Every structure is written in structure tokens, then in C-alpha cells.
Amino acid sequence: MSARVDLELLARRENEQTEWKERVADVNDVAQTLSAFANDLQNLGGGYVVCGAKEDRDEHGFPRLVRVGLSASELKEVEGRVLALCRERVTPSIAPLVEELPTSDPSRRVLVFIQPATASAHTFRRQDHGAKHFVRVSRSTIEARNGVLKDLLVRKGALEPWDRRPCLSATEADIDLLAMRDAFQRMGVFSPERGVEPYISAEEQLSPFVPPLFAREPLTGVLRPRNFTLLLFGRNTQRHIPGAVSLFALYPGSDRSTPHAERHELSGTLLEQAKRLQELLDVQSYTAFDKTDHASPNALKYPKRALYEAMGNALAHRDYELVDPLRITVFVDRIEVVSPGSLPLGVKLELLRGGTATPRWRNQSLGWFFTRLQLGQAEGQGIATILRTMKEEGNPPPVFDADEARVSCVLPAHPRHALLGELREAERSVALGRFQDAAERVTRILAADPLHARAVGLFAEVQQALKEPEPVVKWAAEHEARLMALPFDVLLQLAEAIETGTRSTERLRISRQILATASRGRLEERELRRLAVAMSRAKDDDGVLALVERYVAEHPGTEPTPVVRQLRGDALIGLAKECRATATRPGVSKQTRARAWRDFHRYLADAEAQLRGALQAATDPHLKQLVDKNLEYLEKLKAENQPPHLGQG
């Protein structure tokens, strides 16, 4: 079956499933890497070899994909030789899937080989060497020797991974087809014309990296659901997999010695358990209760994303051959998530604690479904997400531990409940219009936690309402080197507050620096528009054009949208006005004045082309109205600024 390949998504992710080859100097390297993906030592499901593209960095240091492409003759030759090597020199032979993807040049295409993991240990033989086993370690293809070779052969010689094995006590009658349909709809793969019936087979696959949901017994021909299918869609999952249960307990103190506790025993499918656990964790994510504070009884205690990731990791990667339940325990000062089973082979605890461990899925098929159902991050990003979101909210770092029987993740509660209560009071004062009171409160918060994102945003909002930008300028100057820690929306709030009232050179500099920080990373069109408008207010039209061009470069193969054309046009009008100011400034030389007038009309001509293109393609009435006004203003500029004959000065 043909798989859809999103090169932009592959390029954005730091993962070990992709090998980039701008030029294919040696097809043996391609076949060797494909054999390593088939061996799949790290249990990632396989990988991609992309020929005719490379990873690069933009001017800001962020990943950028360059599609060089191969000519038709090169593509045909590479494809034919690689497939021949995979048949003749890989043992057992492999047959990777092949896709051709377009580039901006219609005469060149990107060639992608897709190699799922297999159940065999493959060797590859170069013409002048003997047969050798190759594996992927980090982002390199290496020969498997000594202990690595032993691990590969042991894993390949054993049974299939547990989640892929057929459940011999269950049949297709034990699967809830409605639950399967609902999950497929959430994943965006459900077709009303086909339904789910084609997947009740031992042949149909959702992905090259996930086996069919069922397996057929060789002798009897009975169709058996695989273990991951039963975990996700079983009618009575615990009848067949007794350990697939979760316990959620809540203690009012800091240990289990308190006489009273709240306890929930959760069974059913993993999807049902995940939904119920999310509901229970939402309470902890949003509010910590203090009944003695009648004005503001609630304060943020845990970032929801961190709780979801810890829960999703535990459900997807625990050892279901053990009958112990997954345990999530809430104390007054922390949440403990304990998952049965040791760390997967090859994962080191010290690297796990730092969020840099090589991604290894104990239950790769479950992990694939959890990623597509947005119950977890892909390719080992879950731990990094927990670390990042806890840090962003000001929580102490999580504590990871592991032994032969379990893996635990402890998420400490936010230590500054008093400050969070103060923040709620400040937000309440803003809602009531008491901005001076809010300013005093939020200043106290920032003194204790200078980069708390909510507090910084509220600080900017309050000072803007008071029309006092200088405190914001001073704060931003003091923390200029650390602004990258703040989210996009907060950075825009800071810039807008600084631009309030009379401008100065220093305020413009700080504002532009904040906006440059906000522009880093990949932007959505809505964010692009907000940022471009803010940069235009800061008199940085050159920056707007550079930002727009970078956005276009990040979306190769697509026509600039009406919004992009409109932003270009507005920026060009801004540059034309700067040229007019130069041309009409007293004391300017004749040569400079002539050049300024030429640039003025050139910028206006380019702006008119962009705006008329935007008007022609726009469907949004508001955008059309905005472009119409800009065109009217452009015509007015042209009419009011007819320069003298350039030869006359």
C-alpha cells in the first residue's frame, strides 16, 4: 500500500527514522541504511531514506528543508539500482515502498524509500565485503558487532513484540466495532464508503509501521485480534489481559498515612481509561482548592500537558504481561505515576531524566495509535514535553526513577501557590478596572518569578492600560537575553505596550528586539499576520518583508496566500513612504533625492501588484475591504507625490 510522506513534518522532527541524501553518490549506502531500518534495533517501526533533499538551517538557526530533487534519469537509475540491491544483496531480501514527491522545479523530484521493520535479522553485502548486519543508532547507520549484534539477533529470534502477538483467547467477536470506528474517525482515516469491515482481516493495514489488527491462525484459520487491538477496542479487555487496569487515588496529605482517600479503579479499553484519567487529572491541572480564601479559592497547580504526557506514556509503554495496575496517585504536593515494568532495552535512566534518551517503544503499535489519537507525543518527545511544560509553568522539575519492576514519574506541585493567588487577584483587579492595584500586585509577582509568562503578559496589559510604557521598557531591557523563554502572545503584548504613547529610539530598539524574538520558529498564518502588523507599527518594514519571505520559503510548492500578498503590499508601501521622506528632506543631495524618488515609485508599483493579486484571490470580505483601502491610499500617494523630472533634481 502507498504511504503518505510529509517531508516538512520529517524535517521538523529530530528523529532517528529518516536518512537525508541530497546527492546519491553511492546506492550501496541507501540499501545498507534500508537494511538497518528493516532490522529496527530500536523498535521504531522502520524508517525513510529521502534522496534529493537535505536538512538545512535558516538565518535564525531553525531547521529548513531544501528540496534539490533528482532528474528523471537520475531518479529512475537510483530507484532501479537500490531495489535491485535490496533483492540481491540484502538477506533475507527486502522490498521497500517507493514514493516520488514534487519540488519547485517540475523537471526534478524527490525520491523516498519507505522501509517498515521486519521480523528478520537482515544482512547487507557490498561487492567487495562479506555480509554484515547493520542497525540505526541515533541518526547513523553502523555495523552491528559484539553486544549490539547479540541484542539484534536475540530480539529478532524471539516472538513478535507483545503488543503485536495475537491474543489466543479472543476472536473478532470480542472487538467493539463502534469503538474502532470512533477511533478511526478521530484519526481521520475513516471512510463511510469502506467502513471498518476491511480492517477485520489479517491483511489490511493502517500504516506500514503497524501490523493488521488481526492475525489468522495457521492451522485453524481462526481470526484472532492482536493484543494492541484488544487493548484499544476490546469488549471485555480485562478478561483476556488482566493487568490492563489503572488505579487513580487521591490523598489529602503528603503520604498514604491519612485515614481517608479517594480511589478510582478503571477498567475497559485503554481509550476509555485515558478519557477518564484525563477528566480526573483536569481537576489537578486547573485548580488547587483553598476553601479559606473566599475571594480567589483556586490556583494553577500543574500544567495539563505534562499530566497528559505522563499518563499517556504510562499507558502506552507499560509492560502488560505483568498483572500489576498502572497507578496514578495524587498527594497535596505532587502526583506520582507508576508504570509496571522496567525501562525498555537500551534506554538509560540518566538520559531519560534529561529528556535525551533514545526513543524506544516497548509497545510500538500502541505508541503509534496514541500519537495519532493525540494521547502522546511522537518519537520520544513525551519526556521532553513534560520537562519543558513543567519548567514553563514554574514547577520544580519532574523526578524519574526506574528499577526492574516499575518506572515512576513524580510531578511536583507549583511551589508558589501564594503568588498564583496574587496573580488571580491581579487578573480580578484588571477585570474590575482597578489597574493601579493590578500593577502593584503583578510587580510583586515578577519580583519573585521574573519570567512567569502569565504575569509578564498581565504586566504588559496593565501598563498599556495605564499608558505607562516605561516600566515595560525597563523590564524588557533587564531581561532582554531571556526573552526567548516567553510564548509568542506574551512577546506581542510586551511590544504593543512599549509602542504606547510617544516613541523613542530606545523604545523602538527594544520593541524590534522583542518582535525579532517572537518571529523565531515556525509561524501559523494568523501569527504571521499579528507579528507583521506589530513590526509595521515599530517601523520595521524591511523586517516584515524578510519575515514574509521566510514564511513563503517554509511552505515550498504553494502559492502565496492573499494574506501574504497583503502583508507584502503593506510593507512595500511603508518602504515607499520612507523613500518619500528621504526625497523631501532638506539638504539631501541631488543624486540621493533622485534615487529616493525612483525607489519610491518602484516600491509603490511592487506594492500595487501584490495588493491587486491579494484582492483577486481573497474570499474573506474583511480582507477585501482592507486591501481596497490600502489601494486607495496607494493611489493617493502616487497622485500627491509626483516628483520633478529626475534630470532636473
* pLDDT over 90 at 109, yes or no: yes
More confident call, 59 vs 75: 75
pLDDT digits (tens, 9 = 90+) for 122-172: 999 988 788 999 998 878 899 988 757 767 876 776 557 788 889 999 999
Phi, psi of 128, deg, nearest 5? -110, 15
* pLDDT over 60 at 645, yes or no: no
Query: Apex CA 436: angle with CA 416 and CA 463, to 5°?
Result: 85
* pLDDT over 70 at 577, yes or no: yes
Summarize the confidence of residues 641-648 as an average pLDDT: 52
User: What does DSSP say about strands 326-330 and 246-250: parallel, antiparallel, or unpaired?
Assistant: parallel
**What's the pLDDT score for residue 471?**
87
**Cβ contacts of 374 within 8 Å, gap of 6 or more:** 186
**What's the pLDDT score for residue 81?**
95
* pLDDT over 60 at 287, yes or no: no
How many Å apart are CA 309 and CA 328, to the nearest integer? 13
Phi, psi of 164, deg, nearest 5? -90, -10
More confident call, 359 vs 461: 461
Phi, psi of 588, deg, nearest 5? -80, 140
How many Å apart are CA 155 and CA 161, to the nearest integer? 9
**What's the pLDDT score for residue 259?**
72
How many Å apart are CA 433 and CA 134, to the nearest integer? 67
* pLDDT over 90 at 327, yes or no: yes
**What's the pLDDT score for residue 553?**
83
**What's the pLDDT score for residue 310?**
92
**Alpha helix (H) residue ranges in 469-520:** 470-478, 488-498, 505-518
pLDDT > 90 fraction of the chain, expressed in percent and rounded: 31
pLDDT digits (tens, 9 = 90+) for 531-549: 888 888 888 888 888 888 8
Question: Taking Cα atoms as reference points, which of 544, 261, 227 lies closest to residue 362?
Answer: 227
**Cβ contacts of 533 within 8 Å, gap of 6 or more:** none
Q: How confident is the model at residue 647 (pLDDT cuts 50, 70, 90)?
A: very low
**What's the pLDDT score for residue 219?**
85
Summarize the confidence of residues 80-102 as an average pLDDT: 94
pLDDT > 70 fraction of the chain, expressed in percent and rounded: 90
How many Å apart are CA 233 and CA 226, to the nearest integer? 11
Summarize the confidence of residues 511-528 as an average pLDDT: 82
Summarize the confidence of residues 326-347 as an average pLDDT: 86
Amino acid found at 194: R
DSSP letter assigned to residue 346: T
How many Å apart are CA 388 and CA 371, to the nearest integer? 19
* pLDDT over 60 at 51, yes or no: yes
Map out the domains of the chain with their CATH numbers. 7-157 (3.30.950.30), 164-240 (no CATH), 246-364+375-412 (3.30.565.60), 536-649 (no CATH)
Summarize the confidence of residues 423-439 as an average pLDDT: 85
416-428 burial by CB neighbour count: b if 16+ within 10 A, else e? Answer: beebbbbbbbbbe
**What's the pLDDT score for residue 4?**
65
- The distance of Cα 460 from the centroid of its chain, to the nearest Å, equals 28
More confident call, 381 vs 614: 614
Summarize the confidence of residues 24-41 as an average pLDDT: 92
Q: Average model confidence (pLDDT) for the chain?
A: 84
Q: How confident is the model at residue 105 (pLDDT cuts 50, 70, 90)?
A: very high
User: What does DSSP say about strands 399-402 and 406-412: parallel, antiparallel, or unpaired?
Assistant: antiparallel
* pLDDT over 80 at 376, yes or no: no
**What's the pLDDT score for residue 649?**
37
More confident call, 14 vs 136: 136
Phi, psi of 245, deg, nearest 5? -130, 160
Question: Taking Cα atoms as reference points, which of 497, 480, 607 lies closest to residue 541?
Answer: 607
Classify residue 292 as exposed, middle or buried by CB count within 10 Å of its CB (0-12, 13-18, 19+).
Answer: exposed
* pLDDT over 60 at 584, yes or no: yes
* pLDDT over 50 at 389, yes or no: yes
Question: Taking Cα atoms as reference points, which of 108, 116, 107 lies closest to residue 86?
Answer: 116
Q: How confident is the model at residue 358 (pLDDT cuts 50, 70, 90)?
A: low
pLDDT digits (tens, 9 = 90+) for 627-644: 899 899 898 888 887 655
Q: How confident is the model at residue 377 (pLDDT cuts 50, 70, 90)?
A: low
